[in-house]
C-alpha cells in the first residue's frame, strides 16, 4: 500500500509536521468517521453539504436522491472537495491564544463518477450500510430494483488525499507556564448509548451483538 503523494492542493503548509500522507493512517480516519462534508460549486455558488459515506479500497461512495443538487452537480463532473474530521479532545492552554483541539482530519479532492450498473450500485450500498453498522447488511432486506433506480450513487477515487492530525498537550509561551491556571486536554469520544427498540418491534427479537457492542474503532 503506497502513501499518497502530496499535491499543490493536499500539501499541508500550515504546521506541516501535522500533515499525514500514509494511506493506511488516512483510511483509518475515514473508516472511523460517519459524516463527510462535500464542497462543490453549483450555478456559480459554493456549497458544502454534510452526508454519510462508505469506503471500499481506494474508492469513496456517497448516495442519495436523484433530485439532490449535490449529486446532480457531481454527477456532471464538478470538482469536489470532501472532508472528514474526528475531534479527539479539547486542548485547554494557559492563554486564550494557544487553545486548540486534538483532531484527525482528511481532505479529498477529485471528481465523482455516477454508478449505472445495478450490481455496482448494490455493492456500494452494501459498503455504505456496513460502514455505518458492520454486520447489518446480511440481516436487512436488500434494496429492490425500484429502490436502486430511486438512488443515485457516486464513486470518488481516493487519489489526491491528505490528512492532518494534532495530538498532545497544550503548548504555552514559556512565561505562561507559571500562571495559576489549569491546563491540559479534555478527551472526547463518540460513545454509544443503550439501544432504543422501535415501538413496533416484536419483543422476542433481541438486540444484535453488533449493536450491543457498537464501536467506531476499526481494526
Question: What's the CATH code of the domain at 53?
Answer: 2.30.110.10
Residue 10, pLDDT above cutoff 70: yes
Is the CB of residue 178 less than 8 Å from the CB of residue 194?
A: no
Residue 178 in domain: no
Numbers of helices and strands, H then E, in the chain:
5, 11
Residue 6 in domain: no
Q: Residue 78, exposed/middle/buried by CB under 10 A (0-12, 13-18, 19+)?
A: middle
Residue 217 in domain: no
With 0.85 as the threshold, say if the pTM is over it.
Answer: yes
C-alpha cell recorded at residue 133: 453498522
Number of neighbours of residue 201 by Cβ within 10 angstroms: 10
User: What's residue 14's pLDDT?
Assistant: 87
Residue 219, pLDDT above cutoff 70: no
Model pLDDT for residues 20-36, shown as the tens digit of each residue? 999 999 999 999 999 99
User: What's residue 15's pLDDT?
Assistant: 86
Residue 2 in domain: no
What does the pLDDT average to over 138-148?
Answer: 95
- Half-sphere exposure of 27 toward its Cβ, with a 13 Å CA cutoff? 17
| Domain encompassing residue 154 | 16-172+183-212
Residue count (the chain): 219
Number of domains in the chain: 1
Residue 106 in domain: yes
CA 8 to chain centroid: 22
Task: Give the Å distances, CA to CA, from 166 to 55, 89, 91, 116, 171.
Answer: 24, 10, 10, 40, 12
Residue 210, pLDDT above cutoff 80: yes
Residue 4 in domain: no
Confidence of residue 134 (pLDDT cuts 50, 70, 90): very high
Task: Give the Å distances, CA to CA, from 84 to 39, 64, 199.
Answer: 12, 18, 33
User: What's residue 217's pLDDT?
Assistant: 77
Residue 119 in domain: yes
- Alpha-helical (H) ranges within 76-162 are 118-132, 145-149
Residue 10 in domain: no
Q: Residue 176, exposed/middle/buried by CB under 10 A (0-12, 13-18, 19+)?
A: middle
Model pLDDT for residues 40-93, shown as the tens digit of each residue? 999 899 999 999 999 999 999 999 999 999 999 999 999 999 999 999 999 999
User: What's residue 124's pLDDT?
Assistant: 97
What percent of the chain is modeled with pLDDT above 90?
Answer: 95
Q: Which residue has the cell 440481516?
A: 139
Amino acid at each position: 500500500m503506497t502513501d499518497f503523494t502530496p499535491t499543490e492542493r493536499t500539501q499541508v503548509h500550515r504546521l506541516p509536521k501535522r500533515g499525514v500522507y500514509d494511506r493506511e493512517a488516512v483510511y483509518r480516519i475515514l473508516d472511523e468517521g460517519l459524516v463527510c462534508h462535500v464542497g462543490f460549486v453549483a450555478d456559480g455558488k459554493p456549497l458544502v453539504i454534510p452526508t454519510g459515506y462508505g469506503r471500499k479500497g481506494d474508492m469513496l461512495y456517497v448516495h442519495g436522491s436523484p433530485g439532490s443538487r449535490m449529486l446532480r452537480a457531481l454527477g456532471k463532473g464538478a470538482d469536489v472537495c470532501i472532508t472528514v474530521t474526528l475531534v479527539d479532545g479539547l486542548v485547554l492552554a494557559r492563554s486564550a491564544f494557544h487553545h486548540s483541539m486534538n483532531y484527525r482530519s482528511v481532505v479529498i479532492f477529485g471528481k465523482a463518477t455516477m454508478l449505472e450498473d445495478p450490481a455496482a450500485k448494490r455493492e456500494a450500498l452494501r459498503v455504505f450500510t456496513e460502514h455505518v453498522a458492520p454486520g447489518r447488511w446480511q440481516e436487512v432486506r436488500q434494496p429492490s430494483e425500484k429502490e436502486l433506480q430511486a438512488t443515485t450513487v457516486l464513486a470518488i477515487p481516493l487519489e489526491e488525499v491528505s490528512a492532518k492530525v494534532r495530538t498532545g498537550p497544550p503548548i504555552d509561551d514559556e512565561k505562561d507556564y507559571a500562571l495559576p491556571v489549569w491546563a491540559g486536554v479534555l478527551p472526547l469520544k463518540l460513545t454509544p448509548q443503550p439501544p432504543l427498540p422501535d415501538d413496533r418491534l416484536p419483543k422476542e427479537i433481541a438486540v444484535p451483538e453488533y449493536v450491543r457492542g457498537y464501536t467506531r474503532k476499526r481494526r
